[in-house]
Amino acid sequence: MTRRSAELRLDALLRTACDVIAERGLGNTRTADVAQAAGVSQALVFYHFATKERLLAQAFAYAAEQDLARLDAVVNSSASPLDKLKKILKLYAPTGRSKSWTMWIDGWSEALRVPELEKVSRRLDLRWKEALTEVIRDGVAGGAFKCEDPGGAAWRINALIDGLAVQVAVHERVISRRQLADWVRLSVSRELGVEPEQLA
């Protein structure tokens, strides 16, 4: 155990906690697990986090912020709406039994009972929808997309991906990632009046 500043240690613990949560699930993560994974005494965990609940909630938020940072990078880039759309779809769609997706599915379930997690989960979900809405609006304004209700379209696209991602993440092998991507492209192309091939 090398000694570190509180800030560094906190960050390292949160990072480790994310890994442990992704592997064991929010409900089955024990403080001792996180401590062990971080190579640290269990007491240290309580030195930095008052309760287990706080640790989990902060770790969850930490992971969410990382995802959102990647999203913002795309939205704030100078790419065309079509390119941004493609990048967002790529970020959002699950890759393998994605660490992120297992965490969000877990998060939804916990959020049913833990208000603090519900807040984080809601913020994350809404942010994706806003980002997508914005890109669609820009695309419509620039003539790249045709869509009467960008907000609604964004919701439907997000919901479709969520639903398909759950199936891929939870029920391995019922559909392939390729199938998921194809169906998403098809629906998006219909919503925005573009050809599916343009989204590849």
Do residues 62 and 13 lie in contact, with contact meaning Cβ atoms separated by under 8 Å? no
Unique residue bearing structure tokens 């419509």: 140
* 105 lies in the binding site for a copy of itself (CB under 8 A): yes
The listed partner (DNA, a copy of itself, none) that binds 43, CB under 5 to 8 Å by sort, is DNA
Alpha-helical regions (H) of 79-114: 81-92, 99-111
Cα(7)–Cα(100) distance, rounded to whole angstroms? 24
Stretch binding a copy of itself (CB under 8 A), from 21-29, 62-70, 74-82, 192-200:
21-29
* 11 lies in the binding site for DNA (CB under 7 A): no
Local structure of 192: helix, strand or coil = helix
Do residues 89 and 182 lie in contact, with contact meaning Cβ atoms separated by under 8 Å? no
Helix, strand, coil % in the chain, rounded to nearest 5: 75, 0, 25
How far CA 34 is from CA of 20, 78, 117, in Å, comes to: 6, 40, 19
* 162 lies in the binding site for a copy of itself (CB under 8 A): yes
Q: Please, which of residues 163-182 interact with a copy of itself by CB under 8 A?
A: 163-164, 166-167, 169-171, 174-175
The listed partner (a copy of itself, DNA, none) that binds 68, CB under 5 to 8 Å by sort, is none
- Smallest distance from the beta carbon of 102 to DNA, in angstroms? 19
Instruction: Single out the residue of 15, 19, 37, 42 in contact with DNA (rule: CB under 7 A).
Output: 42
- Smallest distance from the beta carbon of 116 to a copy of itself, in angstroms? 13
Cα(18)–Cα(125) distance, rounded to whole angstroms? 18
Identify which of residues 62 and 155 has a Cβ nearer to a copy of itself in the complex.
155
- Smallest distance from the beta carbon of 20 to a copy of itself, in angstroms? 13
Stretch binding a copy of itself (CB under 8 A), from 13-21, 47-55, 75-83, 110-118:
110-118
Cβ-Cβ contacts under 8 Å for 6 (sequence gap 6 or more): 48
Identify which of residues 34 and 85 has a Cβ nearer to DNA in the complex.
34
Query: Counting beta carbons within 10 angstroms of the beta carbon of residue 113, is it exposed (0 to 12), middle (13 to 18) or buried (19 or more)?
Result: exposed
Identify which of residues 47 and 193 has a Cβ nearer to DNA in the complex.
47
For binding to DNA (CB under 7 A), which residues are involved?
Answer: 1-6, 9, 29-32, 40-44, 46-48, 50-53
